[in-house]
Structure 1
C-alpha cells in the first residue's frame, strides 16, 4: 500500500512538472530531431542503441549531434571515447536537451540531432521517436516508479502519427525474434587488451548499471561463469573507491565490468591497479538490415 501511495505521489509530480515546465515547444527548422527512449527508468539500452544509430547515420554521410544529460557523466565520457576521431559525430552534455537542440539547429552544422533519452521531454515536438520496448506498454499506476519500473503511462505519449509526433517506431528488445538485440561481443583485459578465456572461465561481476542482472545474463550468454556479484547505483561517483576496496579484499580474483563502469575509473585507480585482473565487457547492438533501412 505504501509503495502504491508513493507511486501516486510520483504520478502527481510527473503531471505537474509537465504542465508547468515541459509544455510542447517549437519544432526544429533545419536538423532532423531523433529521440531514443523507453518507458523504463533505466537499463533499457538507450545509450548502446544511440551509439549504433549515430554510426548508422554517419555511414550515410550525415553529420550528427548526440545529446545526453550531463548527470550521466559516465555515459558522456564513454560516448566521447567511442566517437573520438569521428568528425561526423559530436557528443554534447546538457541539462536542457530542448534548448541545446534549438541552438545547434540554428548553427546549421548538423543534419541530425539525436537525444539519448528525452522520451519524457514533451517540449521536443516534431521528433522521430524510437521507443525501445522490453515489456508491454505500461497502463497502470502500479507499474510506475517507485511501485514499478516505469516512468510514465502509455496515455502520456501519443504513439500514433500526428502533427506533434510524425513518427514513433516501437522496437521490441525481448521475446521471440526481437527487433533489437544487445549482446556482449568481446571481453578484454582493461590494461593489456587480451581476450578473456571463455572455457571454464569464472569471474566476479562489478557494475553500476540500470539493469545489472541483464548485464550478468549477457555475460553468461557470452560464456562466463559468474562468481560474486557486486552491484552499485547507476552513475555512481563512488564506484572507483568501492571497486578498489573489493579488489583489496580479493587481490587474486578476476573481475568483469562494463564499458560505462570503466569510464568512471580515474587515472589514479588505473595506475594503482594495473596488475589486477580486470576485464571490460564490450556490448554491441544488433538490428536487422530491413529494420535499419526502414527506421526513417
Structure 2
C-alpha cells in the first residue's frame, strides 16, 4: 500500500499500489474525473512536502534512481547497472533502498546469503547480489549508517527516492516507461503520477526512457521538448544465453510492476508461452498459488519461467514453494543503452562525482 503524504502514525489513508488498467487507457475514464479532487489534494501535499524538506548533505556522493509514476519502470535494473559501472571504475558502492515488502525498518546491512525477501524486500536482495546494500525506511538514517561503516563507501546509489526530500542528491535519474509513458497524465489516485509532472521534471537531472527494442522513440522525443536535461534511451534485454527458450513450452508467471513487458520479451525470444499468471508487484506467493503453478506446468508439460525478482522471493520456502523455486527458471535481464547513450550516462555520473568531490 502507498500512503498519502499526509499520513501520520495514527491516521493512515492508503492508496492501492496496484495499477488500474484505466490509468493507461487511451479513452478518458469516469473514475479519473471522479477522483480528480483527491488527486489535486494528493499532488498539492506531495509538492508541499518536497518544498519544505531540509535534506541531509551526506559526506559522500548520492546518486538517486527514481521515477515519476507508481509501478514498474525499470528503476532497479538501472540501479544495478550503475552499481556495476561504478564498481568497475574502482568505487566502493553501497546501494540504499527502502526495502519494500520486508519487515526490517533499518538501517540494516543486507546479508544476501541468509536474509529473505520477507525481511528485507525482493529488490534489496537483487541489489545485494551486485553491491553492499542497506535497507532503511528513513533514508537519512540509512545514509548516516553507510558513512559510519562498518564497510567503506565512496558513493551511494539510492534505488527509488526521487520524491524523498530526506537526502541531498548529487545526481537524480528518472526512469520513464517507454511503452506507457505517463498514462492519462493524472496524479494518484486519478492516474499514475506521484506528483504533477511539471514539478517532478524539476527534480530530475536526467531521464532514461526504458523502451521496447526497436521503438520509434516517440516518448523520448516528446520529453526532449519539455525537459531541459539529457534524455537517454535504453531497453531491457536478456542477459546470457537464451537458446533454451526457443520453441520451449512455457508457463510464464510474474509479480512485478509491468509483467506484460516480461511476457513480450519471452515471446520475442521464441518461447511457446502456453499460459501467463500475473500476481501483484512484490507479492509473496502462498502454498496454494505455488501448487497451482506446479500443476499447470505438469498438465501442459511446460517449463515454469519467471523473473529474478520473483524467484528471489521464494528463497527459504518449503513444500510447494520450495518445489516451485527448484523447478522455475528465471530469465535474467539487463539494461542496454541505445547508441552512445551508455557512454553519455557514464560521463554524467563521472561529472557529478567530480563536481561533488571538488566542492569545498
Q: Which of 42, 45, 57 is matched with 2:74 structurally? A: 45
Query: Is the Cα contact below 8 Å between 2:249 and 2:302 reproduced in 1?
Result: no
Query: Is the Cα contact below 8 Å between 1:28 and 1:105 reproduced in 2?
Result: no
SS of corresponding position for 2:253? strand
Note if 1:179 corresponds to 2:226.
no
| Residue of structure 1 equivalent to 2:323 | 272
Note if 1:218 corresponds to 2:276.
no
Note if 1:285 corresponds to 2:335.
yes
Report the CA distance between 1:185 and its aligned residue.
2.5
For 2:141 and 2:199, the matched residues in 1 are separated by 22
Q: Which runs of 5+ in 2 are unaligned?
A: 1-29, 102-120, 218-231, 350-360
1:23-38 alignment, distance < 5 Å? 23-38=52-67
Q: Could you state the TM-score of these two structures normalised by the residue count of structure 2?
A: 0.67
| Residue of structure 1 equivalent to 2:221 | none
Deviations 1:88-129 (A, max 9, x none): x31111112233224434559321111101011133334310
Deviates more, 1:262-271 or 1:10-19: 10-19
1:116-195 alignment, distance < 5 Å? 116-135=159-178, 142-157=185-200, 159=202, 168-174=205-211, 175-176=215-216, 179-186=233-240
For 2:174 and 2:76, the matched residues in 1 are separated by 12
SS of corresponding position for 2:239? strand
- Residues 74 and 132 of structure 1: CA distance in aligned 2, closer, same or farther (over 3 Å): same
Note if 1:256 corresponds to 2:305.
yes
More helix by share: 2
- Residues 199 and 2 of structure 1: CA distance in aligned 2, closer, same or farther (over 3 Å): closer
Q: Which of 135, 140, 154 is matched with 1:93 structurally? A: 135
| Residue of structure 1 equivalent to 2:244 | 197
Deviations 1:123-172 (A, max 9, x none): 3334310111235975x98533333333222233353xxxxx6x701122
Report the CA distance between 1:217 and its aligned residue.
1.1
Note if 1:71 corresponds to 2:105.
no
SS of corresponding position for 1:294? helix
- Residues 198 and 158 of structure 1: CA distance in aligned 2, closer, same or farther (over 3 Å): closer
SS of corresponding position for 1:197? helix
For 1:283 and 1:157, the matched residues in 2 are separated by 28
SS of corresponding position for 2:205? strand
- Residues 28 and 238 of structure 1: CA distance in aligned 2, closer, same or farther (over 3 Å): same
Q: Could you state the TM-score of these two structures normalised by the residue count of structure 1?
A: 0.80
Higher relative contact order (CA 8 A, sep 6+): 1
- Residues 24 and 158 of structure 1: CA distance in aligned 2, closer, same or farther (over 3 Å): farther
For 1:100 and 1:146, the matched residues in 2 are separated by 29
Task: Work out the number of aligned pairs and report it.
Answer: 275
Q: Which runs of 5+ in 1 are unaligned?
A: 84-88, 160-164, 188-194
